[in-house]
Amino acid sequence: MAAAKALLDKSEGLALAIQQAANLITNPKIGGPTMATNYAMFKDRMRTLPDRHYGERSSSEHALDTLWDMVFSGLSRNSRILLGVLSWLSSGIS
């Protein structure tokens, strides 16, 4: 229970972060068999997450980027490349 509350606190209760955290909980291949394991992996990944190329992250962005990194790590190499290409094609990029 403490690990789940701590993860929610780190993610600032963002709906998208909660949804991504649910992926960790429902898929033990990504996060681990328990919530405590998930949170330990999250904290470790948060410390080792590479910097963004274009600037500093807010605390909520750092938590969400960490969750995405954990979830995307289960994808194949080609799937990750495709997501990278699609992110560059996003209409929000100027």
pLDDT at position 3 is 85
How far apart (Å, rounded) are the C-alpha atoms in residues 65 and 48? 12
DSSP 3-state of 13: coil
Residue 45: pLDDT band with limits 50, 70, 90: very high
How far apart (Å, rounded) are the C-alpha atoms in residues 56 and 60? 12
* Residue 91 confidence (pLDDT) above 70: no
* Residue 94 confidence (pLDDT) above 80: no
pTM of the model: 0.74
* Residue 42 confidence (pLDDT) above 60: yes
Query: Is 63 within 8 Å of 18 (Cβ atoms)?
Result: no
